[in-house]
Amino acid sequence: MFLNPDKIQLEERFLDRTRSPVQAQSLNATITSTFSRSLPVTASLLQHWQMWLASLFLVSVPVFFEAPLVRHAPWLSLIFSVGWLAIAKHLQEDIKTSLWGSLIWGFSLTWLCGSLYWGWLRWEPAYHVPVEALAMPWAIWAIRQNSHRVGGWFYIGSLAGTAITDFYFYITHLFPHWQALMQVEANVSLAQPILKNALSLVETPWGMTWACILAALLLTTANKAMRSLDFGYWAFGGAVLGTIFVDLLFFIVAISS
């Protein structure tokens, strides 16, 4: 039995029409899937930079608020640590803000240790790192917990930057100037000669060489940490670089004074 050629063409056109919507839907699904996969990557990258900036901010800017507060009202500064912990707990209760709550939790540890040292022991530079490291057991616990991982790495990054800065003070023989400055901190006229002598040590080849070496070490460490997609490592990187920012600000203030 022979088929009509016109009928065959009609059937082929009918099949093409019935097949084309399916193909179009498949193509649209592929495009939508590809686009939807690219959105989280972009959003995640933005969130990582936000975490980095927040970490850098919390290491650097609050120093200029805590420093005068802890000198005049050390107990009040210490009590503020409880307030930071309360804010952290509140933020961690909501899944949308849990990461920021973890970051504030780590910041509260640095605030607590900083209040203890700068409030009562700031005349003894050798005690600085040990006191700042008092919360290290909690930080080690935190980096193993998803709920506190970001805060734990933030604290460790801040402590690492502090330790390297103190090492620079030690290697360039600035500890005596630190002690002398703490004794006359309220008297600007007496503080200026001390700062001038300290700067003369920093500006030597020995001081400048070690400054470059340690700055490169901090930059390299932060850069390696930020190659990961882990928010905790980005908090660590921001905290480490924040210490460089603080050191530069103090250096500028010392020169200008």
**Higher model confidence: residue 25 or residue 211?**
211
What sign does the dihedral 202-203-207-209 (CA atoms) show? positive
What's the pLDDT at 61? 75
Task: Enter the tokens of residue 25.
Answer: 């839907």
Helix, strand or coil, per DSSP, at residue 244: helix
Task: Enter the tokens of residue 205.
Answer: 């080849």
Q: What distance, in Å, lies between the first and last C-alpha atoms of the chain?
A: 107
In the predicted model, is pLDDT for residue 185 greater than 50?
A: yes
Could you give the CA distance from residue 120 to residue 130 in angstroms, rounded to a whole number? 14
Report whether 103 contacts 151 (CB < 8 A): yes
What's the pLDDT at 63? 78
Going through 56-130 in order, the beta strands assigned E by DSSP cover none
Query: Which residue has tokens 């924040």?
Result: 242
Report whether 218 contacts 161 (CB < 8 A): yes
Could you give the CA distance from residue 161 to residue 132 in angstroms, rounded to a whole number? 11
Query: Which residue has tokens 């805590």?
Result: 66
**Higher model confidence: residue 132 or residue 257?**
132
What's the pLDDT at 26? 52
The pLDDT mean for the chain works out to 84
Within 8 A by CB and 6+ apart from 123, the residues are 179, 182, 183
What does the chain come to in residues? 257
Report whether 187 contacts 138 (CB < 8 A): no
Q: How far are the Cα atoms of 71, 100, 242, 251 from residue 248, in angstroms, in the given order?
A: 22, 27, 10, 5
In the predicted model, is pLDDT for residue 32 greater than 80?
A: no
**Higher model confidence: residue 13 or residue 161?**
161
Q: Which of 152, 148, 162 is nearest to 117 (CA)?
A: 162
**Higher model confidence: residue 32 or residue 56?**
56
**Higher model confidence: residue 80 or residue 252?**
80
Task: Find the angle CA(49)-CA(30)-CA(23) to the nearest 5 degrees.
Answer: 165
Could you give the CA distance from residue 198 to residue 230 in angstroms, rounded to a whole number? 40
pLDDT > 90 in the chain, percent: 64
Could you give the CA distance from residue 191 to residue 135 in angstroms, rounded to a whole number? 32
The domains of the chain are located at 49-256
Work out the average pLDDT over 46-53.
93
Measured in whole angstroms, how far is the alpha carbon of residue 68 from the centre of its chain?
23
Q: Give the model confidence (pLDDT) of 94-142 as tens digits.
A: 999 999 999 999 999 999 999 999 999 999 999 999 999 999 999 999 9
Could you give the CA distance from residue 162 to residue 172 in angstroms, rounded to a whole number? 16
Work out the average pLDDT over 193-203.
90
What's the pTM value of the predicted model, to 2 decimals?
Answer: 0.83
Work out the average pLDDT over 78-103.
95
